[in-house]
Amino acid sequence: MPTPDEIKQRIESAIPESTAEVEDWTGGGDHFRATVVSPAFTGLSRIQQHRLVMDVFAGEIGGPIHALSVKTQTP
């Protein structure tokens, strides 16, 4: 089971210059909500922005990470 902090660090190391805030949304340890800010999102559509974040956890979402809610922003 990943912790919010692990998820935060994985996002921040995968997406250039990003900062992420991650919370365990349900307290169950498998549903997280991440707010990610990065200049890498500039010019991308929402779905493309979310894909950058989802791709960090390819294969894990729907498995160990039941759900990851994402909100993306540019600085």
Partner 1 sequence: MAEQTENPLRDAIAEAIHENRVILFMKGTPEMPACGFSARTVAALQATGAPFAAVDILPDPRIRQELSALSNWPTIPQLFVDGELVGGCDIVTEMYESGELHEALGAPAAPAAPAAPAAEAPAADAGPQPLGVENRLS
Residues lying near partner 1 in the complex (CB under 8 A) are found at: 46-47, 50-51, 54, 58, 61-62, 67-71
- Within 13 Å of residue 35, how many CA atoms lie on the same side as its CB? 5
User: Minimum Å distance from CB 47 to partner 1?
Assistant: 5
CB of 31 to partner 1, least distance (A): 10
Which residue, 18 or 70, has its beta carbon nearer to partner 1? 70
DSSP character at residue 55: H
Closest distance between partner 1 and the C-beta of residue 62, in Å?
5
DSSP class per residue in 11-40: HHHHSTT-EEEEEESSSSSSEEEEEEE-GG
